[in-house]
Amino acid sequence: MSNLQELYDFYLETNPSTGKIRNATNFLIHACQAMEVSSPEEIDDDLIEELPSAIDQYFGDNQQKAVHDKGVLAEMIGRYGPRNGWEKVYELLLTDRDENLSQFALQAIEFSARKNPQMAMPYIEKFRNGKRTIMRRVAALLVSRLICADQREFIDFHIGSWQKNDPEFVQLILDLLDHQAHNSLNNLDEKLQSRKALEWLTNRLERQKSDRSS
């Protein structure tokens, strides 16, 4: 994945909605104009790290439009995964001065993490241990989503350590699962997934507690 065009092509293969495709196409146009190149193929390994700041400069004082475009980029990277050079850009989006963008960027990795949860773990750990309360919550939400996505065997490996060293984080995951299971806005499938995940995690913690006391 050596240039922006290839990232865009991969993104299309993930079947985004018509509106998201339109946003991604517009972003490619803006990116080329911002980077002063004739095609997204030219925004390659040597230039992709400059994309976020170039978009900021392109929109000037209209930071709302800049944040929107960087959000499109965050979703594209989230679907591909922060790898093959895109992890550097992803780090910039995670630390953007716009709090909503940084939250969205962390949530966006869920798509690729459902297939490769190991890719998400460094970011989960970074924000679990960080001082930004909202990002810690988003990290917990990401864990809850992975549990719902049947990545329980992978998460199980980490639960023991978290419960021992950071029980508040585990409780946050439990609270989020409980909320998802009873949220009236969620469809029936999402509720059922959340309830099963909540039951699994509750039982997992009960077994751990029983093992310590025996």
> What pLDDT score was predicted for residue 143?
97
> What pLDDT score was predicted for residue 182?
87
Specify whether the CB–CB gap between 140 and 201 falls below 8 A.
Answer: no
Classify the phi-psi angles of 150: left when phi > 0, otherwise alpha if psi is within -120 to 50, otherwise beta.
left
Task: Encode the chain (214 residues) as per-residue pLDDT tens digits.
Answer: 679 999 999 999 999 999 999 999 999 999 999 999 999 999 998 899 999 999 999 999 899 999 999 999 999 999 999 999 999 999 999 999 999 999 999 999 999 999 999 999 999 999 999 999 999 999 999 999 999 998 999 999 899 899 999 999 999 999 999 998 888 677 888 889 999 999 999 998 888 777 666 5
> What pLDDT score was predicted for residue 183?
83
List b or e across 45-58, with b for residues whose CB sees 16 or more CB atoms inside 10 angstroms: eeebeebbebbbeb
